[in-house]
Amino acid sequence: MKIIISKKGYFSSAHRLYNKNWDHNKNLKIFGKCGNLNYHGHNYEYIVSLRGRINKETGLLFNLEKLKNILKKEIEEYFDHKNINLDLKEFRLINPTMENIVIFMWNKIIKKIPSNLELKITLYETKNNFVEYYGEY
């Protein structure tokens, strides 16, 4: 029997979406307000979910205090109050869409959790817009 535990987290970051091969009007047309030249912020919310079997000795799937520390170090300290385009070298050539951000987050977190657990991350860019990533299973 497999179950899922989840933890929520938050960070606030600035970004701008654009393709450098397009002129500004085309970028605005494709990316809307997220294409504005001078960057803007989002209050991102995310949910990290771990799926697996309960440890019979502890009754736990994974220590939530440990998960909290992983998320603080790998996600919040990394993204919070940063300009994703300018401050995070991994995004110099990658458009910081919520799709690309969630994949990046997943690739960071998967390295920190035991291999017998499955990882899913949901990332909210706004209250109504969110993306989910389960990895390439």
Q: Is 76 a catalytic residue?
A: no
Q: Is 34 in the site for Ni ion (CB under 5 A)?
A: yes
| Nearer to Ni ion (CB atom), residue 33 or residue 89 | 33
Q: Is 81 a catalytic residue?
A: yes
The span from the first CA to the last CA of the chain, in angstroms, equals 19
Nearest approach in angstroms of CB 42 to Ni ion is 5
Catalytic residue among 81, 90, 99, 132: 81
Q: Is 103 in the site for Ni ion (CB under 5 A)?
A: no
Q: To the nearest 10°, the Cα dihedral for 20, 24, 25, 31? A: 60
CB-CB contact of 48 with 61 (8 Å): no
CA dist 14 and 45 (Å) reads 14
Q: Is 119 in the site for Ni ion (CB under 5 A)?
A: no
| Nearer to Ni ion (CB atom), residue 18 or residue 62 | 18
Q: Using DSSP bridges, classify how beta strands 3-15 and 40-52 pair: parallel, antiparallel or unpaired.
A: antiparallel
| Nearer to Ni ion (CB atom), residue 9 or residue 42 | 42
Residues with a known catalytic role: 34, 81, 125
